[in-house]
Amino acid sequence: MRFDLLAAPVDGVSEAYEVVAGFDGALVGGLLRPGAEQIAALHALAAAVSGTPLAGRVAEAVDKTIAGSISDEHLAALVAARSALLGASHDALLARLDEAAGRGREPWPAAGLGSLTGADNLLAAARSWLSDLAIAGWRGIDHDLVSHADQAVQALLADLRLRRLGALLDGFAGELRACAPGATMPRVPVRRWADLWARAVLLAQPGALASTEVGTVSGRLLPLGVDLHEHPTAVQAQVHAVLETADGPRLVRASVSTPKVDTLVGSGVWQLLRGHSALLAAVTEQRAMDLTDMPVTAGGDLIWSDEHTKAGAPAEPFATARVQLAAASAAPVPPLERHPVRIAEPVLLEGYTAAADDDGVTLTLPGLTVEVDVERMHSAGPLTPALVAASTACIGLLRWDGHWTIQPLAVEAQVKRKTVAVHAGAWAGGAADAAGAKAEAAAADAAKVLRERAGRLLRR
């Protein structure tokens, strides 16, 4: 990789972030009666998209907001402008990363806007609540306002087509409820709540959740590592891999998820995912999988089904990364996923100097120093920040958080004078080492107790 390209700033990104930060700040106090600072932020947003097809609608939305007659349609225009700026930043950053890695990326296929029959009322209810949030602002939220979402959330979750929006609103409402009343909050998570709110507004638009065309793919799947996403009520294991196809290697993801309770954390979450044993076993055993007609989205996400798989030969992730990763093409990013925080590109880092201090772990490469995203390193595997600090090679996800960071999925490090590979998902299919077996046993006891308690409640 050409790390010097990543060290150079990307034109326009900091300016776009500044405009977005101004709009996000305007949401803190609400848009009911915008003050001078909020009005300036709205005008800056309109000016930033003045040369785009959004110009007319955004200018009208800003005028209506200032006049106090904002509607769902006007809020959608403001969110579209915000998302366009972040989407452009995402595209510029990803293009720079692809250039540095020498990675090709397929174009997004052109497709018309779909529709959802019978969902208009539920989407309108979601938009209405989101509008109320924007008008009240984060400082204006209270328990009554947050509870207005409950009925819509339950209806959205009950409809499989709308569950994506329902899950987002459910989690967002839970965060707001935990922080209400907003007037007494010591600090508002401005960017996070603005991101969640804007995302929900986009998904609540007609056609945004319409099903997209799904194809099929066949080839040899070579896992690189697992990114574990934990939430108090859900967990997802996302496997990043190289897929060898007749058209050449390509980067893909395979995700499995399940509900959970907030008391089950760490290595215990793997037991909840063992229903997808073939995928997790391949990661733990470092084994390839032969796929036949596996469903895949245009964005490179495999819709996993064990019926389309067969266990293959051993495939060591670092060997895969060294041989296949540089030549693998990347999938295009779905339009609604174009946000810098969504960037998570698999890379192989070697020849760096690792250092650890009170501020964290850094990897110094020729022309670039990358901060290790320690907060994204989960406790459900043997990989620790100390091992990263002692490592000589790293497979990780390159991310953007105002600067480039790396989330390690696996490292090679010196342990007792031997170079060993340590993987974050080593316990996914079952722990083989003593530390993993101990953690697994403790987690199994917790899961057993929870199942017994759930059984008693259901028998009452």
What 3-state DSSP class applies to 154? helix
**Predicted pLDDT of residue 1:** 86
Domain span at residue 233?
214-327
Q: Is residue 438 part of a domain?
A: no
Torsion of CA 43, 44, 50, 54, to 10 degrees: -80
Residues 157 and 21 in one domain: yes
Residues 18 and 129 in one domain: yes
Q: Is residue 159 part of a domain?
A: yes
Q: Is residue 229 part of a domain?
A: yes
**Predicted pLDDT of residue 429:** 77
Residues 74 and 133 in one domain: yes
77-81: Cβ within 8 A, 24+ apart: 78/23, 78/42, 78/45, 79/198, 79/201, 79/202, 80/54, 80/202, 81/45, 81/46, 81/48, 81/49, 81/54
Residues 2-16 as b or e (16 or more Cβ within 10 Å = b): ebebbbeebeebeeb
Q: Is residue 97 part of a domain?
A: yes
Q: Which two tokens stand for residue 32?
A: 């009911």
Lowest mean pLDDT among 63-77, 223-237, 419-433: 419-433
In eight-state DSSP terms, residue 53 is: T
Q: Is residue 378 part of a domain?
A: no
**Predicted pLDDT of residue 211:** 75
Residues 198 and 219 in one domain: no
Q: Are 252 and 300 in contact (CB under 8 A)?
A: yes
Residues 394-403 as b or e (16 or more Cβ within 10 Å = b): bbbbbbbeee
Provide the percentage of residues in the chain whose pLDDT is more than 70: 92
Q: Is residue 32 part of a domain?
A: yes
Q: What is the CATH number of the domain that holds 308?
A: 2.40.50
Cα 200 to Cα 43, 88, 168: the distances in Å are 23, 19, 7
**Predicted pLDDT of residue 453:** 65
Q: Is the pLDDT of residue 143 over 90?
A: yes
Neighbour tally for 284: CB within 10 Å = 22
Q: Is the pLDDT of residue 56 over 80?
A: yes
Q: Is residue 364 part of a domain?
A: no
pLDDT band at 231 (very low <50, low <70, confident <90, very high): confident
pLDDT band at 264 (very low <50, low <70, confident <90, very high): confident
Tens digit of each residue's pLDDT (9 = 90 or more) over 387-444: 999 999 999 999 999 999 999 999 999 888 888 999 999 988 776 666 656 666 665 6
Residues 191 and 229 in one domain: no
Structural domain ending residue among the three candidates 203, 236, 262: 203
Residues 74 and 177 in one domain: yes
Q: Average pLDDT in the 191-219 region?
A: 92
Residues 185 and 219 in one domain: no
Tens digit of each residue's pLDDT (9 = 90 or more) over 276-289: 778 999 999 999 99
Lowest mean pLDDT among 64-68, 192-196, 274-278, 308-312: 274-278
Q: Average pLDDT in the 241-263 region?
A: 91
Q: Average pLDDT in the 172-199 region?
A: 96
DSSP run (H or E) holding 197: helix 190-203
Q: Is the pLDDT of residue 79 over 90?
A: yes
pLDDT band at 449 (very low <50, low <70, confident <90, very high): low
Residues 196 and 223 in one domain: no
Q: How many domains does the chain have?
A: 2
Q: Is the pLDDT of residue 261 over 90?
A: no
pLDDT band at 332 (very low <50, low <70, confident <90, very high): very high
Which residues on neighbouring strands pair with residue 349, listed in sequence order? 394
Q: Is residue 43 part of a domain?
A: yes
Residues 71 and 114 in one domain: yes
Structural domain ending residue among the three candidates 311, 327, 343: 327
Pick 432 or 119 by higher pLDDT.
119
CA distance 188 to 205: 27
Residues 159 and 274 in one domain: no
Q: Is the pLDDT of residue 8 over 70?
A: yes
In eight-state DSSP terms, residue 212 is: P
Residues 198 and 261 in one domain: no
Structural domain ending residue among the three candidates 292, 327, 362: 327
Residues 67 and 121 in one domain: yes
pLDDT band at 266 (very low <50, low <70, confident <90, very high): confident
